[in-house]
């Protein structure tokens, strides 16, 4: 079985490497030629256009920034749709609009191609160690065919419904993560201003109800002033904007999400768009001229 993998960025690169480690043959494509060269040394093939990747692949995986990039790679000139064979399975692991997922799936179905949307959660560290959480939308029989493949890249893969359901679930995940980081930031700035060490607060609360995966992953980064991106603020802005658009379509209230989205947009305007989303703490720090550290 040959896997086409398009998009070798912060997340896609380690995910694709885990597939190679598991023995899969890969055909890769990315605009970054240096990362493509890295995969060639690992035994992968390369192609210059998505249609050529598609023509060589039994399963195609994309890991791209947002809906426009996925639609371009799949549907536009030299796209996957021009080279794909009937019976191929397309797995989009990007975090995009559920509406876009359904549109792409509909177009591919006309070519006899089945699609699942399978966005992930866990950031770069979990992409590296293959322990991502994968949220899937699509037909159950297609999910069952690729589940073992997905579990090379993640520790869990859960079918959430039809195509688009994976991205709805991912949007819910991103809302919860963003609000957790905002709450943690607010609390740590409160503690700092009140004269209590954030590290002691962290150690005191991590085993209680306030403890969470977000707290464990992001509190140390904040206290160490390490904002190297595992997940960029600009990408979280994209996800929350997609969540707001989806909420508007279905009529769901997003009061807290809208507030955090504006905080992230403010940070983007202040040059923090490429920082890790834990840099949300800087929004609060700037308001009171303080810094959370150990």
HSE value, Cβ hemisphere, 13 Å, CA-based, for 40: 10
User: Which domain CATH number covers 263?
Assistant: 1.10.1040.10
Rounded Cα gap, residues 244 and 28, in angstroms: 33
Per-residue confidence at 123, pLDDT binned at 50, 70, 90? Answer: confident
**Whole-structure pTM value:** 0.91
CA nearest to 176, candidates 239, 93, 100, 99? 239
- Looking at the structure, do residues 157 and 214 belong to the same domain, yes or no? no
Residue 230's pLDDT is: 84
Domain boundary among 163, 195, 229: 163
Compute the average pLDDT of residues 65-89: 97
Does the pLDDT value for residue 122 go beyond 90?
no
- Looking at the structure, do residues 265 and 152 belong to the same domain, yes or no? no
170 is catalytic: yes
Residue 214, domain member (yes or no):
yes
- Looking at the structure, do residues 30 and 154 belong to the same domain, yes or no? yes
Residue 72's pLDDT is: 97
Residue 53's pLDDT is: 98
Q: Rounded mean pLDDT of the chain?
A: 97
Q: Quote the domain boundaries for residue 30.
A: 2-163
Does the pLDDT value for residue 176 go beyond 90?
yes
Residue 129, domain member (yes or no):
yes
- Looking at the structure, do residues 14 and 148 belong to the same domain, yes or no? yes
- Looking at the structure, do residues 108 and 142 belong to the same domain, yes or no? yes
- Looking at the structure, do residues 107 and 227 belong to the same domain, yes or no? no
CA nearest to 100, candidates 274, 249, 268? 249
Per-residue confidence at 215, pLDDT binned at 50, 70, 90? Answer: very high
Identify the active-site residue in 13, 71, 126, 170: 170
Compute the average pLDDT of residues 218-236: 95
Domain boundary among 116, 147, 163: 163
User: Which domain CATH number covers 29?
Assistant: 3.40.50.720
- Looking at the structure, do residues 90 and 176 belong to the same domain, yes or no? no
Does the pLDDT value for residue 111 go beyond 90?
yes
Does the pLDDT value for residue 47 go beyond 90?
yes
Residue 293, domain member (yes or no):
no
Residue 66, domain member (yes or no):
yes
- Looking at the structure, do residues 148 and 31 belong to the same domain, yes or no? yes
Residue 62, domain member (yes or no):
yes
Compute the average pLDDT of residues 76-100: 96
Rounded Cα gap, residues 90 and 161, in angstroms: 16
Compute the average pLDDT of residues 137-145: 98
Residue 232's pLDDT is: 93
- Looking at the structure, do residues 85 and 227 belong to the same domain, yes or no? no
Rounded Cα gap, residues 176 and 180, in angstroms: 6
Domain boundary among 163, 197, 222: 163
Q: Are the CB atoms for 140 and 93 separated by under 8 Å?
A: no
- Please tell me the total count of domains within the chain: 2
Residue 163's pLDDT is: 98
- Looking at the structure, do residues 133 and 252 belong to the same domain, yes or no? no
Enumerate the β-bridge partners of residue 158. Answer: 135
Rounded Cα gap, residues 159 and 258, in angstroms: 28
| Residue 144 or 231, more confident | 144
- Looking at the structure, do residues 77 and 172 belong to the same domain, yes or no? no
Per-residue confidence at 238, pLDDT binned at 50, 70, 90? Answer: very high
Residue 190's pLDDT is: 98
Residue 184, domain member (yes or no):
yes
Residue 294, domain member (yes or no):
no
- Looking at the structure, do residues 260 and 133 belong to the same domain, yes or no? no
Residue 252, domain member (yes or no):
yes
């Amino acid at each position: 079985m040959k896997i086409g993998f398009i998009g070798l960025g912060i997340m896609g690169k380690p995910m694709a490497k885990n597939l190679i480690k598991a023995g899969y043959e890969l055909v890769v494509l990315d605009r970054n030629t240096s990362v493509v060269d890295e995969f060639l040394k690992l035994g992968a093939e390369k192609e210059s256009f998505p249609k050529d990747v598609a023509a060589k692949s039994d399963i195609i995986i994309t890991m791209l920034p947002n809906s426009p990039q996925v639609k371009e790679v799949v549907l536009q000139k030299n796209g996957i749709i021009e080279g794909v064979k009937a019976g191929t399975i397309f797995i989009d692991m990007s975090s995009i609009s559920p509406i876009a997922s359904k549109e792409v799936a509909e177009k591919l179905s006309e070519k006899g191609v089945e699609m699942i949307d399978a966005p992930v959660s866990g950031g770069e560290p979990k992409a590296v160690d293959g322990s991502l959480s994968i949220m899937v939308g699509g037909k159950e029989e297609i999910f069952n065919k690729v589940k073992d493949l997905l579990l090379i890249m993640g520790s869990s893969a859960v079918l959430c419904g039809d195509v688009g359901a994976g991205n709805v679930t991912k949007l819910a995940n991103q809302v919860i993560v963003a609000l957790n980081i905002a709450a943690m930031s607010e609390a740590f700035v409160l503690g700092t201003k009140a004269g209590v060490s954030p590290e002691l607060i962290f150690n005191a609360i991590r085993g209680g109800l306030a403890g969470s995966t977000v707290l464990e992953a992001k509190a140390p980064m904040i206290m160490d002033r390490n904002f190297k991106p595992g997940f960029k603020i600009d990408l979280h802005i994209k996800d929350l904007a997609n969540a707001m658009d989806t909420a508007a379509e279905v009529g769901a209230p997003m009061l807290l999400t809208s507030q955090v989205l504006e905080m992230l947009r403010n940070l983007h305007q202040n040059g923090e768009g490429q920082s890790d989303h834990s840099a949300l703490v800087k929004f609060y720090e700037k308001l009171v001229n303080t810094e959370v550290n150990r």
